[in-house]
Structure 1
Amino acid sequence: MSESDRHDRIASEADARTADGVAALDAVLEHRARLAVCVLLSRHDEISFARFKQLLELTDGNLGAQLRKLEESGYVTLRRTFEARKPVTWYALTDAGKRALKTHLSALQALVAAAEI
């Protein structure tokens, strides 16, 4: 095998690993707000809507839409309570959400490692 062929084979294998890494990315978690929500929830049992709004500096509508998408995907659950007669919505990461986040972050790490910058 010539040096050129060997180089092409190595490059082709690296490109295939990159393609595999891209394919392993979770489309739901590609949005920065949804990724941030899941990363925050991975460190806490629950976080309230108000706290997310404060941390992520999102509007009610945008945050609500992102949380709804995560809930529809089975990545988060919500629980409603009342504190001082005011409704509070709490969010928690599900087991499916934890697995999806772990897979997504592993794929991102592999892509970063594969980059030649």
Structure 2
Amino acid sequence: MDPVIHAQARLRVVAALSQLGSGDRITFPRLQEILRMTAGNLSVHLRKLEDAGYVEVTKTHRGRTPATLVNLTARGRLAFDEYVHSLRSLITPGDGVR
């Protein structure tokens, strides 16, 4: 299990971002609203995911208004897919183990 993704809050973040199309981004406030997380809590978890190369956080402007956009990187998508595969293998009976 990937310890970066395994933390509940980060798993929620990565799961939400995995629903975006490849290359699509979501605004920080919208992600915060979807996940019902405080800005500080979300920021901390995004930083850990960003440090691992799983998410990209882009600060830009929309007109004169600052905007923070978040997307799942290809590396993050692969890590999430592998995480989900690992979970499924844990809960799926097989190999005669009971």
TM-score by length of structure 1 reads: 0.72
For residue 83 of structure 1, report the CA deviation from its aligned partner: 2.3
Say yes or no: does 1:77 pair with 2:56.
yes
Say yes or no: does 1:109 pair with 2:85.
no
AA of the residue aligned to 2:14: C
1:54-106 residue CA offsets vs partner (Å, 9 max, x unmatched): 01111111100000000000001111121242211111111110110010000
AA of the residue aligned to 2:7: H
Query: Of residues 2, 23, 30 in structure 1, which corresponds to 2:6?
Result: 30
- Consecutive unaligned residues of structure 2, counting only runs of 5 or more, are none
Query: Of residues 41, 54, 65 in structure 1, which corresponds to 2:17?
Result: 41
Query: Of residues 34, 45, 50 in structure 1, which corresponds to 2:29?
Result: 50
- The structure with the largest alpha-carbon Rg is 1
Name the structure where helix makes up a greater proportion of residues: 1
- Taking the aligned partners of 1:69 and 1:89, their CA distance within structure 2 comes to 16
Query: Of residues 53, 59, 79 in structure 2, which corresponds to 1:100?
Result: 79
| Runs of 4 or more above 3 Å deviation | none
Query: What CA RMSD, in Å, does the superposition of the two structures yield over aligned residues?
Result: 2.0
Q: Where in structure 2 are the equivalents of 1:3-22 lying within 5 Å?
A: none
Q: State the identity %.
A: 38
